[in-house]
Amino acid sequence: MLITVFGAGGQTGQLVVAELLDKGHSVRAFLRDPSKLAIANPHLELVVGDARDAAAVNAAVEGADAVISTLGASRKDKEPVFAAGTNNIIAAMLSHDCRPISVISAQGAGTESDSELSFMLRVLRRLLGKTILNMRQMEEELKTCDLDWTIIRPGGMNNDPLGRYDVVEANAIKGGGRTRRADLADALILAVTQGKWARKAVSIASR
């Protein structure tokens, strides 16, 4: 498969790109700063651009079999990129008949009950209010589009190696305050390559 990865220069995006290449896929890595992705592979194509640029996004999606969005927040951005970037991705995918997409959101960003959200993540949600609201808007855009979308909501992330993890169709997982980036990357890939959790919003927590 040829898979376009948005936000490929971020910590999770780099893991997604590396794992996809290890699994034999071709990757089109969309990122703002190409120096952030120190991977050399004949099956890797780098595309420099901003997800808020509809034309750049459209070109990056053309010919792809699936999309993974690991877009993240940046202090340089006046407004979070999640909703605007995802809206451009959706439009491009519909235009090019590319259906599978998985995206990163956050536990507690959905509109469902947040009764299982940990105290730590409740505090973090308050601190990141503008970002969480933008993620919620992104989620709603995906839920109403005609794509095979999967929304994956991690807890607080760390860089421990891949391990066992739980995925639950919920706004949060009780006691699931931590998520390894490697686990998140693995789940994002399973969603688009094996159809896991299609048209579902799920939370992920590492064991």
Q: Which fold has domain 2-206?
A: Rossmann fold (3.40.50)
What's the pTM value of the predicted model, to 2 decimals?
0.93
In angstroms, the CA 137 to CA 131 distance is 10
pLDDT at 102: 98
In angstroms, the CA 124 to CA 95 distance is 37
User: What confidence tens digit (pLDDT) does each residue in 127-169 have?
Assistant: 556 788 899 999 999 999 999 999 999 998 999 999 999 999 9
In angstroms, the CA 207 to CA 198 distance is 23
Give the pLDDT mean for 64-82.
87
The two three-digit tokens of residue 197, written as one number = 């959790």
pLDDT at 59: 98
Domain spans, the chain: 2-206
The two three-digit tokens of residue 149, written as one number = 């979308």
Residue 2's SS3 state is strand
Torsion over CA: 88, 68, 34, 2 (sign)? negative
Residues facing 206 on adjacent strands: 165
**pLDDT above 70 (res 175):** yes
